[in-house]
Amino acid sequence: MSNVAPANPLEMLAYNIALEIEDDQIVYVGTGLPMVGAMLAKLTHAPNITMVYESGGQDPIAGDMPWSVGCPFTFRKSPMSMEMSISFGQSAIGYVDIAFQGGAQIDMYGNVNTSVIGEYGEGLKAILPGSGGGNDIGSLTQKSVLVGLMTPDRFPAKVDFVTTPGWLDGGDSRVKAGLMGGPTAVVTQVGVFDFEPESKRMRIKSLNPGMTVEIAQMCAAFELLVPDNVKVADAPSDEVLTILREQVDPRKVFIKMPGM
C-alpha cells in the first residue's frame, strides 16, 4: 500500500492541467491552478517550457507562488519584461503555444463569461471583474485551455455574456468572426473535455477516477457529447503527487480543498 494520500479533486485538476502542456512550449500562465499545473509540468514531463505573463514578465526563474499576475515572482530574474500590449502581441503573431483561463461561466462552445451574470442595466444579477487579459489570450493564442469547477450554473448552454470567444455558435463561426486559434480543452474536477471538430460542441475526453458520464452530465446544463469509448484518466503517481505537494505548492495555497 502506498502511504501517499490519493489526489483530491483540486490536485487532480492541477495534474490534468499539467498534462495539457508539452515540453518546449511557450506557455501563457495566469495565477491560481493554471500556475500550479504549469509548475508541475515543468518539474515533471516538461522541464523546458518557458512561462510568459500578461503583466509583462517573461521567462522568470522558479520561486514561490505569485500573489498576483503582476507579482515579482512573474518577473523573477527575467531577462526582460514586455509592455502589456506587446506581451499580448506575441500571442497574435504566433509565439505562444498554449494559454489557460477560467471564468464564472463556460458554455457548450467554450465561450467564457467573466463580465456579468444577467445583463448590464435592468437585468443585472452580478457584476464580475471584466475581461482583463482573458479576451486577448483567448482570441489570439493558438490553443487555450479552459479551467473551472463544473456545476450546471457555471456550465450553462449559453453564457450570459461572451467576454472571451470560444467557438462562438459552433461550426466555423469563430473563423468567420476573424479570430485565430481557439479553445482545445476544458479541465474540470470531473475530467477533461474537448470540442467535436465539426460542431465544436463540448465532448467528454477523459473522466477522472471515480467519475461517470452521468456525473459529468449532471454537472453541465447542456448535453455533453460522449465518445464511443470514454477514457478514465490515470491518477497521478505517488512521485508526481509528492512533487505537487512538497515542491510546487508546499503551503497548499491552491491545492487544499476548502473547509479541510
Partner 1 sequence: MGYRYITDDQYNRLVDFKGAREYHLKKDRAKKDKRMSLSEAVGQFVQDGDILAETGFSYVRSPIQSYFEIIRQGKKNLVSIGSPMSNTSYLMSLGLVNAIHLSYIGVEMRGNDKNFARAIKTGMAEIVSIWSHGAMGLGFKAAQLGTPFVASKQLLGSDMIKQNPYIKVIDNPLNTKEDPVCLIPALFPDVCIIHVQRADRFGNAVIEGPAINDIALAAACRKVIITAERIVPEMTIRDASDAAIPFWYVDAVVDLPYGALPGCMPGYYYWSREWWEWLVRICTPKQEAVEEFFQEWVHETKDQYEFIDKLGGIRFIDHARRLMEAAQANIDDSQVSFAYQEVIPKRD
Query: What is the number of helices (H) and of strands (E) in the chain?
Result: 7, 14
Q: How far is the CB of 181 from partner 1 (least distance, A)?
A: 10
- Pairing of β 50-52 and β 202-207: unpaired
- C-alpha pair distances (Å), 186 with each of 110, 111, 149, 195: 8, 11, 10, 9
Q: Is 196 a catalytic residue?
A: no
Q: 83 and 55 in contact (C-beta within 8 Å)?
A: no
Minimum distance from residue 135 beta carbon to partner 1 (Å) = 4
Taking CB under 8 A as the binding criterion, the range among 18-26, 36-44, 61-69, 206-214 that sits at the site for partner 1 is 61-69
CB of 204 to partner 1, least distance (A): 26
Q: Which of residues 86-105 bind partner 1 (CB under 8 A)?
A: 88, 92
The smaller minimum CB distance to partner 1, of residues 82 and 244, is found at 82
* Using rule CB under 8 A, residue 83 touches partner 1: yes
Name which of 225, 29, 175, 193 is nearest 110 in CA terms: 193
The reply on whether position 75 binds partner 1 by CB under 8 A is yes
Nearest distance from C-beta of residue 25 to partner 1, angstroms: 21
Residue for grid cell 499539467 = 18
Instruction: Write out the DSSP string of 18-30.
Output: HHHPPTT-EEE--
Q: How far is the C-alpha of 30 from the C-alpha of 38, rounded, in Å?
A: 10
The three three-digit cell numbers of residue 41, written as one number: 509540468
Which of the residues 184 through 213 are near partner 1 (CB under 8 A)? none
For the chain, the first-to-last Cα distance in angstroms comes to 24
**Separation CA 113–CA 66 (nearest Å):** 24
Q: Report 147-186 residues binding partner 1 (CB under 8 A).
A: 161-165, 168, 173-174, 176-180
**CB nearer to partner 1: pick between 173 and 217:** 173
Measured CA to CA, the distance from residue 24 to residue 97 in angstroms comes to 10
Taking CB under 8 A as the binding criterion, the range among 39-47, 75-83, 224-232, 235-243 that sits at the site for partner 1 is: 75-83
- Name the catalytic one among 22, 54, 122, 239: 54
Q: Smaller CB distance to partner 1: residue 27 or 65? A: 65
258/252 Cα distance (integer angstroms): 11
Q: Which of 5, 6, 127, 218 binds partner 1 (CB under 8 A)?
A: 127
Which residues of this protein are in contact with partner 1, per CB under 8 A?
31-32, 54-57, 61, 63-65, 67-73, 75-77, 81-85, 88, 92, 115, 120, 124, 126-136, 139-140, 161-165, 168, 173-174, 176-180, 251, 254, 258
Residues annotated catalytic, as ranges: 54
